[in-house]
A and B are shown apart, each in its own frame.
Chain A
Amino acid sequence: MKHMTRKATRHVNQNEGLIFEKSSAGKAAWKLPPLDVPEVDASALLGSSARKDLGHMPEVSEIEIIRHFTRLSTWNYAIDLGMYPLGSCTMKYNPRVNELVVRLEGLANGHPYQPEKISQGALRIIRTLSDCLLEITGMDAITLQPAAGAHGELTGLLMVRAYHQSKGAPRKKILIPDSAHGTNPATAAMVGYAVENLKSNAQGMVDVAALTAQMNEDVAALMLTNPNTLGVFEQEIHKIAEIMHAKGGLLYMDGANMNALVGKVRPGDFGVDVMHLNLHKTFSTPHGGGGPGSGPVAVRQTLEPFLPKPVLVTKPDGTLAFDYDRPQSVGRVRAFYGNFGMFVRALAYILANGPDGLRQTTEDAVLNANYIRKGLEGIYDLPYSTPSMHEVVFSDKLQAKKGVKTMDLAKRLIDYGFHPYTTAFPLIVPGALMIEPTESESKEEMDLFIEAMKSIAEEVEEDPQTVLDAPRSTRVSRLDESAAARKPVLRWKPGT
């Protein structure tokens, strides 16, 4: 099967222009019912605020819209088509029952300000999900308000800050390992903290000696991803927590990789004080081309007073309600209560799994990553031999000798019918290939992936140009990203 792919083949797909190019005056895809109240004169009511014209908005029919977006959709790769091994992104199966239940009338049409008396169903969902997430993380209190992981980080650090402030001073710095996601330092800056880099040791883990040296009373918290971005579990986590706590600091855990831990170990048990979860990673809510997500933040009891408001409470009569009287709260981070639709999906996922399913899911995710590691070891450079959890990070060191970089290998993988892995991250691995299969891949799919990666490695040896020219099978070849940034064209204009 050398240099051929068993997974993918070419098939016809449709060309499709921009929707504006199909527009023609008088076409319509809408119909309003007759007005049951008197018509009004907008100019008379609105005066100079009345709008006369909507510019170049399209005018098209319903079938054209269906074809337009269906055609566009066929130009995308998706989990539904195959393995999507983007490291750190956790591209797992998105169950369809989740999509059904979120559209049930009472849930989809619930107004956030409707009386609590007729909101008990939604509040019960929030409570049940909260209870499950607290049990899974081993933490004491939780907010579901943050809209995504980075928003959860912001919320978590605001609480860290409020906690220290309540003890006298907010402190000045956040320690962040050099392997961290970019959101961590960006978040620290938004909360008014200075960022101090923490070097990794030879195993790709936190250098405990360096941490001891850098930790002092100016440090508010350490932001740690565990397992970290190399897919490595921080084995000295208990020491790390002790070092932080001894100097009054807090341990923040970025829960982006919580899918490696669910049902096997709980952050609350190993010393974490505050953490966020990504419902769109570990708990199967769809990524949808970039969002929406949801980034609940779970904390230890000492941080509970600082949770964003409102906080869900049970009233004496057993009904649920929001409590807005929270004098020590960090405030609101979002209008209303968060991405409720994601809560519904995440809870449906948890119910579908139960304790046994959640544990098996974690085990399979780790099994899959290790299977790929074993399959590709020796063919690609493994910069850290530390045991892998849910993802494995190789480097392009061997292929770079032939002038082929991680991005080139990634583009070639597209021709073999796979979405690429994460390229060039984490920053501590030059030319990284960060592979996360998740639990959703069968042995057969992973065997095809391993075969494809081996075949590409052979191509690099025999005919590197093939790889450098990839992808060849896509609608467009490699796009000129620097031209796009140099002279940005960010919207369609008539006559272009």
Chain B
Amino acid sequence: MADDANILGNFMDDYFVECEEHLAAIRAQLLELERGVGAGTVRPAVLQDLFRSFHSIKGISGMVELREAEMLAHQMESYLRALRQREVTVSQRGVDALVAGVAALERTIAARRDGQPAPPVDQVLHDIAATTPEAGAAQGPDVEARSMDVAPSWRVTFAPSAELIARGVTVDVVRARLRERGRIVDAAPKVMPHGIVFEFLFAGDLEPDVVEAWRADGALAERVAVSPSSAAAESAESDAAESADAASRLGATHVVRVDLARLDELMRMIGDLVISRARLAAALARVERRVPPVEWREVQENSQTIERQLRDLREGVMRVRMVPVREIFRRMPFVVRDLARETGKKVRLELRGQETEIDKYLIERMMDPMLHLVRNAVSHGFESTAERLAAGKPEEGTLVLSSSSVGEAVLLEIADDGRGIDPDAVAARARAMGVPVPEGTLTSRAVLDVICAPGFSTRDETDRASGRGVGMAVVKATVEELNGTISLDTTPGEGTRFVIELPLTLSITDALIAHVGERTFAVPQAQVREVIEVDPTTVRRVEQHEIAPLRGGSLPIVRLARAFGIEARPRRALHVFVVGNGADAVGIAVDRIAGQREIVVRRMADDLIKVAGVAGATDLGDGRVVLILDLLALARYGQSAGTAEGSTKAGSAR
């Protein structure tokens, strides 16, 4: 049972992802459709693509029994079918109905994802139906086989080959055989990597021996599970649409969707490997003097090769996390369109460099800040049409979103040719709101600092576009949290450009948060084999070492407070991170382990702050630097503490 629930869960995840992909395509096509309405010509391909997307959503919604989504998709599909077959011109009213329908569809799917009841869709359905002349009556006058009322029970695929043709088995022969035994509901050629495949949906009975015989002739028959409503219905489509569908399926075969959690799991396993390699290196160092140099060097070189390969592996996994910036950009046309309409402005959106790749986590974090900047640009950046004309500018404003990668960084730019930001107005407004402002005319950088100050807002809160979501303060905080920078370049009368620079990849890792005295540290979880609690009264001193009992054996302990010279009060219990296995195990003792969280690792590159036992820094959200510990280095310190050269502080390990 649990497995069933799990399979359904996975299936629903796939459903949501697939819906999101179709909806993204729909959003893009709707914009195109609307432009077509304005220009008086609609490319048939647009209608086809839209039709196909609705058709797909309808099908998969039927399978997950999300009836509201299925009905919405069906109604919009019907409208599009009417448009295509009657060659009527699309009306603005029709487009509006579709936009409303898509919004309702999004809400419906989101409600299912969040476990909420579906929102009411009757009115929307009615509105779409009202735009569809004789909805449902528009079936294609197609081949006999493309019947609407027969559910296919078999899918028969036939891949022609020279050998089969030589034996006289062609697609016509297969078709004729099928017709003898039932009805062909649908037939479509599909372009597969290895050639063309014909796919027939067939209604009728096939005995096992027939299936066997056909298989020998290169025609594979498999049973089709029929869902009650998606049945045979939507077969009245031209081969063109179907082959386009095939093309999109073809694309899908080259892409694997991976849950970020699984990649994180991979990273954790790589972390384990790194620890094992470190143990190997330590063991090698111990035996160096006992092994003939030539042989030792060979083993040593192998160990170093493994280290390098591990690094490559790690980078490879990080690369898998990279996705095109398109994921952010593709929502923007919709946002711009809605907002431009609301504000009565004319805005052309240009998207550049959508293929630029960036870490998936960054994309997710940057979505809201980018939406904010785009909304700001449309609401505040552009003048009204009348103002633009008066200023001798083109009536239509241009908003450019571009992305490019520069070395190890990705640039995101949001540039408008609007009114620019008036530094004096910003200064005056900031003073009125009690935000500190430097004297004199503000530079672009100072303007940015002021508008990103908490408490500063450009318009009244009632302003719809700026009132929702995040403010500039959050935009800036997010960018900086992601280890990036934001800059502003604005010229009154000419426009505004924000440039966000982000690192190409982020090292994101799970960490345990530890406290020692007044200090807080983060510990990469991958380094920790085990966490134990130790009663300090059981800790014994043996020469330079402190030893705690552990499961009948003993564990050398390094107190972080001592290694780092931190004042810490005696405690009733110590929390100890255990690294290494067996005889190599070492415990790093802290006062308290306070929980686990995902952290962004920032390098501590400067020589002045590179110290043993510290791997980097992170921010837990309050703007303070929290040091990330390198437990392995601390463990080495512990192991060497008894030897003569190890009697200095941990700094000596560097």
Partners in one complex: no
- A positions within 8 Å CB-CB of B: none
